[in-house]
Chains A and B, each alone.
Chain A
Amino acid sequence: MNENNENKVVIEFKNVTKRYKLYKSDKQRLFAVFSKSVKYKEKLAVNDVSFQIRRGESVAFLGKNGAGKSTILKMMTEVAFPTSGEIMIDGRVSALLELSSGFDMEMTGRDNIYLKGQLYGLKNSEIAELEDTIVDFAELDEYIDQPVRTYSSGMRARLGFAVSINIRPEILIVDEALSVGDKEFRKKCRQKVNEIIEKDNVTLVFVTHSIGMAKEFCKRGIVMKKGKLVYDSDIDDAIKYYDPPKPKK
């Protein structure tokens, strides 16, 4: 296989395992810092998962609640660390995880746009170029200069989506996020996601319960079950595996 720039590997998981430690209480957790004898339960969230995603691919992660999808996305955005195994990420990751948070509540929407842009490593001049697009996209109008704490959850989600999608990501990670706002806004979101996938050759990783959405955006499907990767193929087969058509009687 020729490894040219077009299809180089941008995300790679090698035997990744993630265990969460669950303590009875905050106090127990504090003691555990100093002593090894404190008891805790272990929850195996992701169990020995390996896969590669190449540039320009669009991959859906399917699985029931607790299958470990969200944990995988968190590790992709490098906000959580694996207990063992290796993760390689190549490119600017923009994550649409829990859109309504991830803002500084005391600052205005506009300041938050700048803060986020700066944290993603953009220059102020670049952000200024994107600012109007973001404000327009979020449909916040005069609210953009109010503190984010005064926003409704829908407004926060819209702003979150507008920022994440417009800061020119190279890898876009979406976690059930396309269901924000009203019908029209959702449509706009989908168009925008499709647009950047096609135009900028963005890699998309998508997590959902909704098979329809997965089909709409993705060409490849990965099915997770109880922390294990159980199926990895093109989207139609993955959907058949995940949700087999009911046999007619």
Chain B
Amino acid sequence: METIRTIVSEHVEWRSQIFKLAKADIIKTYSGAALGWAWALVKPTIMIFVFWFAFTYGLRHGGDIDGYPFVLWMIPGFIAWSSYMSDMLTQGAGCIRKYKFLVTKMKFPVSTIPSFISISKFSIHLCLMVLVVMIFIVTGHYPDVYWLQLPFYMLCMIAFFTAWGLFSSLLSAMSVDFLNLIKSVTQALFWLSGIMWDVNKINSPTVQFIMHFNPITYIATGYRNCFIYKVWFWEQGERFAMFLIVYIVMVILALWAYKKLIKEIPDVL
């Protein structure tokens, strides 16, 4: 409890610096490259094209999912993964190391580092989501009431991955081994979490049950609930409860790591 209060008060006290650092982080990611901001767009576009090609002509031989062409079906979950979740998995874990100078050279609340990284990544994600909405409109799939629950899933996503960022960045600061472990697991998670295939189509109920404990699956499927499946989040209360359990565990782990490691971090970096 004490730890929560410290973290919250640090965020309140440093809120303007948090946003400034988030802004600086975005600018930094894309400055220094000739194409600059276009990279934020180019990378996912190429990826979507590649996957569309591979899955339409290669692996699956076409076929629509729920009346949507595969590429359209794929986009919402894929963008959630590629522009936010995967970045938060790896860069979230590395953020204290990346912003070492904030820890060892001045007085700065370490707990806010994952938060401003999260804000920075989410801003880029929002821009891409605007693009996704446009793609759906252009292809004749107009907005309906189900799209309104998108902010709910975004909130779940930010909440989970910011807690993850705090937990993993503290451990990565203690040891590079942990960071390397995360990096190697990320690619596996991409294929395991149902970003590229439909989790609802798994035949074994046990496997499907286990799958829904995966927050990445919950969020990617949630994005598709808005655009494709047309399901409200409260119609899948069980899945939400499962996500919530994992989220609470994540928060407890983050608080535990914070309490245990915060005073040691400056000594080891």
Which A residues are within 8 Å of any B CB, using their own CB? 20-21, 26-27, 29-30, 33, 74, 77-81, 93, 95, 97-98, 101-104, 106-107, 111, 115-116, 118-120, 147
B35 contacts the other chain (CB 8 A): no
C-alpha spacing A52/B32, complex, angstroms: 48
C-alpha spacing A118/B20, complex, angstroms: 8
Report the minimal beta-carbon distance from B258 to chain A, rounded to whole angstroms: 12
Query: Are the CB atoms of A79 and B174 closer together than 8 Å?
Result: no
Query: Are the CB atoms of A104 and B267 closer together than 8 Å?
Result: no
Q: Mark B90-133, 1 if CB is under 8 A from A, else 0.
A: 00000000000111111110000000000000000000000000
The one of A27, A29, A77, A98 that contacts B107, using a Cβ cutoff of 8 Å = A77
Query: Are the CB atoms of B24 and A115 closer together than 8 Å?
Result: yes
Q: Interface of chain B, helix or strand or loop or mixed?
A: helix
Note all chain A residues with C-beta closer than 8 A to B104: 79
Q: List 24 contacting pairs A-B, 8 Å CB cutoff, sorted by A.
A: A29-B174, A30-B171, A33-B257, A77-B106, A77-B107, A79-B105, A79-B106, A95-B105, A95-B106, A98-B105, A101-B105, A102-B101, A102-B105, A102-B106, A104-B24, A106-B32, A107-B24, A107-B28, A111-B24, A115-B20, A115-B21, A115-B24, A119-B108, A120-B106
Are A26 and B17 also in contact (CB < 8 A) when A33-B261, A98-B105 are? Answer: no
Which B residues are within 8 Å of any A CB, using their own CB? 16-17, 20-21, 24, 28, 31-32, 101-108, 171, 174-178, 257, 260-261, 263-264, 266-268
Query: Are the CB atoms of B101 and A103 closer together than 8 Å?
Result: yes
Note all chain A residues with C-beta closer than 8 A to B178: 30
Report the minimal beta-carbon distance from A136 to chain B, rounded to whole angstroms: 23
Query: Are the CB atoms of B17 and A119 closer together than 8 Å?
Result: yes
Query: Are the CB atoms of A104 and B107 closer together than 8 Å?
Result: no
Note all chain A residues with C-beta closer than 8 A to B103: 79
Closest residue on chain B to residue A105 by CB atoms? B101
Are A104 and B20 also in contact (CB < 8 A) when A29-B268, A77-B106 are? Answer: no
C-alpha spacing A105/B68, complex, angstroms: 46
Note all chain B residues with C-beta closer than 8 A to A78: 107
The one of B108, B177, B260, B263 that contacts A30, using a Cβ cutoff of 8 Å = B177
C-alpha spacing A21/B174, complex, angstroms: 12
Closest residue on chain B to residue A120 by CB atoms? B106
Note all chain A residues with C-beta closer than 8 A to B267: 20-21, 80
Closest residue on chain B to residue A71 by CB atoms? B267
Query: Are the CB atoms of B174 and A93 closer together than 8 Å?
Result: no
Query: Are the CB atoms of B106 and A74 closer together than 8 Å?
Result: no
Closest residue on chain B to residue A124 by CB atoms? B20
Note all chain A residues with C-beta closer than 8 A to B268: 29
C-alpha spacing A103/B102, complex, angstroms: 9
Note all chain B residues with C-beta closer than 8 A to A29: 174-175, 268
Query: Are the CB atoms of A30 and B107 closer together than 8 Å?
Result: no
Are A106 and B266 also in contact (CB < 8 A) when A101-B101, A119-B106 are? Answer: no
Are A81 and B266 also in contact (CB < 8 A) when A33-B260, A107-B28 are? Answer: yes
Report the minimal beta-carbon distance from B257 to chain A, rounded to whole angstroms: 8
Query: Are the CB atoms of B32 and A147 closer together than 8 Å?
Result: yes
Note all chain A residues with C-beta closer than 8 A to B105: 79, 95, 97-98, 101-102
C-alpha spacing A95/B174, complex, angstroms: 25
Extra contacts, 19 of them, besides A26-B177, A33-B260 (Cβ < 8 A), are A20-B267, A21-B264, A21-B267, A26-B175, A26-B176, A27-B177, A29-B268, A30-B171, A77-B106, A78-B107, A80-B266, A80-B267, A98-B105, A101-B101, A106-B31, A106-B32, A115-B21, A118-B17, A119-B102
Closest residue on chain B to residue A27 by CB atoms? B177
Closest residue on chain B to residue A94 by CB atoms? B106
Note all chain A residues with C-beta closer than 8 A to B28: 104, 106-107
